Chain A
Amino acid sequence: MTSTLIRVALLVSAALFAIGVTGVLLRRNAIVVFLCVELMLNAVNLSLVAFSRLLGIDGQIIVFFVMAVAAAEAAVGLAIIIAVFRHYEDVDVDRFDLLKW
């Protein structure tokens, strides 16, 4: 019973993660890319919660850490996107290629 639930949860988590990765790879809009990153984080959260059913409370604790980090990341990320938008009048990630050597 439990193992079935975990399996389903992990499958959903994998699907969410794959969607996130695909989005990051394919989408150009920085905000969408950003959302896809959040999607990947939450896919991980889901798998952590699922495993905690099997292995104890630790997984759920880590989820809170991930959510805190994700919130911080969202704050910084969105600020960067706003700054970039002010500069380029655009949020197309393909145009952000200045950060090299």
Chain B
Amino acid sequence: MYHPILPALVLALPLAGAIINGVGAFLWREDHRVARWVGPLAVGASFVVVAINFFAMKASGTTAASVVSLWTWIAAGGLHVGVDLQFDRLSMVMMLIVTGVSTLIHVYSIGYMRGDPGFNRFFAYLNLFVFFMLVLVTAASFPLMFVGWEGVGLCSYLLIGFWYENEAYSNAGKKAFIVNRIGDFGFLVAMFIIFGIFGSLDFSQVLPAATGHLRYGDVWATLITLFLFLACMGKSAQIPLYVWLPDAMAGPTPVSALIHAATMVTAGVYLVARTSVLFALAPISQAVVATVGAGTALFAATIATQQWDIKKVLAYSTISQLGYMFLAVGVGAFTAGIFHLMTHAFFKALLFLGAGAVIHSVEHAWHEAGRHGGDPNDMRNHGDLRRWMPVTWITMWSATLAISGVFPFAGFFSKDEVIWKSGVLGYPLLWGVALVAAFLTAGYMARLMALTFHGGENRTGEEARGHLHGAPLAMAVPLVVLGVLSLVGGWIQIPEALPLPHVSALEGWLDPVFEPAHHVMAMHGGAAATAAPLGGGELTWGLISTVVALAVVVWIFLAVVRRRYRPAAESPEPTGLSLVLYRKWYVDELYDRLIVRPLMALWRGCWKIVDDGLIDGTVNGLASGARAVGWVGSQLQSGRLGAYVLLFMVGVLVILGTVAF
């Protein structure tokens, strides 16, 4: 039997770090020594506790969830919600990913944020984020998960607008917050329905009882899962609510790596995996999830091919990869979804950190050279950086090959698993879409690498070039660790079909969690096919996809390297299809016309007519009415003695007359 070891400490450590750094942001604003140690150590210690728990759970061999009740939160009538933490195999995987990647990114941030006046505040927010993310993944009930869900949203908002003096940045924060509210509405509605049907909101009460309360294809199961998926669309940036994520790149790059690539945005995938049995009962929702996922994967990948901003490329790449994860959990391959979540956390965090190192270097070089203006994020201002940044260059290639799905890097195993499962579990069309998106992925990543690190010609500017520098130690170490993980991270799950030792560590670990969902699907759906939609087994298609991915990487790389680019300021505007993609299919403009402006007009109407007109009009009208009456009265007071006496006389006569008669 397994008992969680110091479970509260997992959460308490990052929270304590957040409090200490938060106090430091006020009391010792200029002194960054405390935050430099407390920030990473709080998260690192939390990772150690999680790791100890992981090995204890592994040794015990238990498949059941251990729930740790801390205290009662809500007790009202039939509703009882406790602050309960759930340690099971799924949350353990998530905790390892979250605390592990967070620790690396905290260490990296020491280097990246060095000298920033908001250093302490930054670490306070970052620690707070880790705390809320851990609340999200360990929560044993929907409401507590919602607390974490909202908490990470808050931290995301705070960190996107971290440099709030820049209005565009703080607007990006607001955009993220508002778009996420739409999704959160879905989460709330789903909770209401769940409580109405199950009379409880605890996972331990709801999920095992799902098959008893809901029939297969039940309309309520469909509604619950669709509303849950609406929440996922917001948090995990799926069509149509993905628009906040590219703008979220306004935050410091470690934030993009941690929150907007590795952890927070994958919360939606975790939510679907956690409620897998509900989704298994709702085939319509599953189809919706898979379709939206595949659609997002392709759509975002097309945009990524024509962006010049290195972080924008990675942002759309993240959206695209999240699409893959939803495709996986949508078709019922929950393990594949979590697997891709994990490998993606490694290589996408690495890509962002590498991009951060590049931006950091270019920005400093420009600063040293006294150059102002220009966009250090623009890849047309990079070029041939491998000469100055060898560590970043090599580790970025590791991540690039991983995300492109080249054997034997991590992404090959996870992405091919996703694509393969979507093919054999009855979604041939989505299988094709996912394959095309995979080749686009290889293309835009090769373009990014060629533009930034290769080309034989550097475009940062004559005088700045001498000031370019490689990543400092604090930044280089996380890059190397993640670079290694991008290579070996996929080896915990090697399919049987490949001529390699069969490893199914992750599947064996997570199977008990998804067993109820698989059971439902096996009872009602057909058996999985053994061949891809166009024929051919897993080995054939694994071979095809890795060869094509590698071919695309080489082809695009050579094409881009051979072209000559000018720095951003001297480059012409893109035209034709490039322009459409560069402008992101004009989706932001479309939303602006269809939603933002009509709403603004409506609220402006409310402001001008209802508020200014009706409410203020009433109040001001009463005031001017009183003044008018007063004016009339004041006219009686003419200051003329004669008039006063006359009125006085008349008054006396009237009174006398009344008394007398």
Tell yes or no: B629 within 8 A of A by CB.
Answer: no
Among the stretches A5-13, A43-51, A67-75, A89-97, the one at the interface with B is A89-97
In the complex, what residue of chain A is closest to B636 when comparing beta carbons? A100
Q: Are the CB atoms of B645 and A100 closer together than 8 Å?
A: no
Question: Shortest Cβ distance from A35 into chain B, in angstroms?
Answer: 14
Q: Are the CB atoms of A25 and B646 closer together than 8 Å?
A: yes
Interface string of A75-101 (1 = CB under 8 A from B): 000000000000000000110111111
Question: Shortest Cβ distance from A16 into chain B, in angstroms?
Answer: 16
Q: Give the complex CA separation of A101 and B637 in angstroms.
A: 7
| Chain B residues, CB < 8 A from A25 | 642, 645-646, 649
Interface string of A2-33 (1 = CB under 8 A from B): 00000000000000000001001100000001
Interface string of B625-661 (1 = CB under 8 A from A): 0000000001001111110011001000000000000
Query: How many residues of chain B are within 8 Å of chain A by beta carbon?
Result: 10
Q: Are the CB atoms of B649 and A96 closer together than 8 Å?
A: no
Q: Are the CB atoms of B649 and A33 closer together than 8 Å?
A: no
Q: Give the complex CA separation of A33 and B640 in angstroms.
A: 13
Q: Are the CB atoms of B641 and A33 closer together than 8 Å?
A: yes
Cβ contact of A94, chosen from B642, B646, B649, cutoff 8 A: B642
Q: Give the complex CA separation of A99 and B645 in angstroms.
A: 14
Q: Are the CB atoms of A98 and B645 closer together than 8 Å?
A: no
Q: Are the CB atoms of B645 and A24 closer together than 8 Å?
A: yes
Q: Are the CB atoms of A97 and B645 closer together than 8 Å?
A: no
| Chain A residues, CB < 8 A from B634 | 100-101
Q: Give the complex CA separation of A97 and B638 in angstroms.
A: 7
Q: Give the complex CA separation of A54 and B392 in angstroms.
A: 123
In the complex, what residue of chain B is closest to A33 when comparing beta carbons? B641
Question: Shortest Cβ distance from A91 into chain B, in angstroms?
Answer: 12
Q: Give the complex CA separation of A99 and B649 in angstroms.
A: 20
| Chain B residues, CB < 8 A from A98 | 639
Q: Are the CB atoms of B638 and A93 closer together than 8 Å?
A: no
| Chain B residues, CB < 8 A from A97 | 638-640
| Chain B residues, CB < 8 A from A96 | 639, 641
Q: Give the complex CA separation of A98 and B637 in angstroms.
A: 10
Question: Shortest Cβ distance from B70 into chain A, in angstroms?
Answer: 70
Q: Are the CB atoms of A100 and B649 closer together than 8 Å?
A: no
Question: Shortest Cβ distance from A73 into chain B, in angstroms?
Answer: 15
In the complex, what residue of chain B is closest to A98 when comparing beta carbons? B639
Question: Shortest Cβ distance from B660 into chain A, in angstroms?
Answer: 14
In the complex, what residue of chain A is closest to B630 when comparing beta carbons? A101
Q: Give the complex CA separation of A68 and B634 in angstroms.
A: 35
Query: How many residues of chain A are within 8 Å of chain B by beta carbon?
Result: 12
Q: Are the CB atoms of B649 and A21 closer together than 8 Å?
A: yes
Cβ contact of B639, chosen from A21, A24, A33, A100, cutoff 8 A: A100
| Chain A residues, CB < 8 A from B646 | 25
Task: Take A21-B649, A25-B649 as given contacts and tell me if A93 and B637 are in contact as well, using a CB distance cutoff of 8 Å.
Answer: no
Q: Are the CB atoms of B641 and A100 closer together than 8 Å?
A: no
| Chain A residues, CB < 8 A from B637 | 100-101
Q: Give the complex CA separation of A21 and B645 in angstroms.
A: 9
Question: Shortest Cβ distance from A44 into chain B, in angstroms?
Answer: 13
Question: Shortest Cβ distance from B646 into chain A, in angstroms?
Answer: 6
Question: Shortest Cβ distance from A75 into chain B, in angstroms?
Answer: 19
Question: Shortest Cβ distance from B393 into chain A, in angstroms?
Answer: 85
Q: Give the complex CA separation of A98 and B646 in angstroms.
A: 18
Question: Shortest Cβ distance from B206 into chain A, in angstroms?
Answer: 74
Q: Give the complex CA separation of A10 and B646 in angstroms.
A: 23
Question: Shortest Cβ distance from B98 into chain A, in angstroms?
Answer: 74
In the complex, what residue of chain B is closest to A27 when comparing beta carbons? B642
Q: Are the CB atoms of B638 and A100 closer together than 8 Å?
A: yes
Q: Are the CB atoms of B649 and A93 closer together than 8 Å?
A: no
Question: Shortest Cβ distance from B650 into chain A, in angstroms?
Answer: 11
| Chain A residues, CB < 8 A from B642 | 25, 93-94
Q: Give the complex CA separation of A19 and B637 in angstroms.
A: 26
| Chain A residues, CB < 8 A from B640 | 94, 97
Question: Shortest Cβ distance from A80 into chain B, in angstroms?
Answer: 12
Q: Give the complex CA separation of A94 and B641 in angstroms.
A: 7
Question: Shortest Cβ distance from B642 into chain A, in angstroms?
Answer: 6
In the complex, what residue of chain B is closest to A24 when comparing beta carbons? B645
| Chain A residues, CB < 8 A from B645 | 21, 24-25
Interface string of B351-365 (1 = CB under 8 A from A): 000000000000000
In the complex, what residue of chain B is closest to A30 when comparing beta carbons? B641
Question: Shortest Cβ distance from B626 into chain A, in angstroms?
Answer: 15
Q: Give the complex CA separation of A33 and B649 in angstroms.
A: 15
Q: Give the complex CA separation of A100 and B631 in angstroms.
A: 12
Q: Give the complex CA separation of A74 and B139 in angstroms.
A: 93
Q: Give the complex CA separation of A98 and B354 in angstroms.
A: 84
Q: Give the complex CA separation of A97 and B637 in angstroms.
A: 9
Q: Give the complex CA separation of A12 and B637 in angstroms.
A: 34
Question: Shortest Cβ distance from A27 into chain B, in angstroms?
Answer: 9
Question: Shortest Cβ distance from A21 into chain B, in angstroms?
Answer: 6
Q: Give the complex CA separation of A93 and B646 in angstroms.
A: 14
Q: Which of B639, B641, B649 has the most CB of A within 10 A?
A: B641
Q: Are the CB atoms of B639 and A93 closer together than 8 Å?
A: no
Q: Give the complex CA separation of A99 and B637 in angstroms.
A: 9
| Chain B residues, CB < 8 A from A24 | 645
| Chain A residues, CB < 8 A from B639 | 96-100
| Chain B residues, CB < 8 A from A94 | 640-642
In the complex, what residue of chain B is closest to A101 when comparing beta carbons? B634
Q: Give the complex CA separation of A100 and B633 in angstroms.
A: 12
Question: Shortest Cβ distance from B429 into chain A, in angstroms?
Answer: 85
Q: Give the complex CA separation of A25 and B641 in angstroms.
A: 9
Question: Shortest Cβ distance from B635 into chain A, in angstroms?
Answer: 9
Q: Give the complex CA separation of A98 and B642 in angstroms.
A: 13
In the complex, what residue of chain A is closest to B631 when comparing beta carbons? A101
Q: Give the complex CA separation of A21 and B646 in angstroms.
A: 9
Q: Give the complex CA separation of A71 and B632 in angstroms.
A: 38
Question: Shortest Cβ distance from B630 into chain A, in angstroms?
Answer: 9
Q: Give the complex CA separation of A19 and B574 in angstroms.
A: 104
Q: Give the complex CA separation of A29 and B234 in angstroms.
A: 89
Q: Give the complex CA separation of A97 and B642 in angstroms.
A: 10
| Chain B residues, CB < 8 A from A21 | 645, 649
Question: Shortest Cβ distance from A25 into chain B, in angstroms?
Answer: 6
| Chain B residues, CB < 8 A from A101 | 634, 637
Q: Give the complex CA separation of A24 and B646 in angstroms.
A: 9
Question: Shortest Cβ distance from A22 into chain B, in angstroms?
Answer: 10
| Chain A residues, CB < 8 A from B638 | 97, 100
In the complex, what residue of chain B is closest to A93 when comparing beta carbons? B641
Question: Shortest Cβ distance from A77 into chain B, in angstroms?
Answer: 12
Known: A21-B649, A25-B649. 15 other contacts (CB 8 A): A21-B645, A24-B645, A25-B642, A25-B645, A25-B646, A93-B641, A93-B642, A94-B641, A96-B639, A97-B640, A99-B639, A100-B634, A100-B637, A100-B638, A101-B637
Query: 6 A-B Cβ contacts within 8 A?
Result: A25-B646, A93-B642, A96-B641, A98-B639, A100-B634, A100-B637
The 3 nearest A-B residue pairs measured at CB: A97-B639, A100-B639, A100-B637
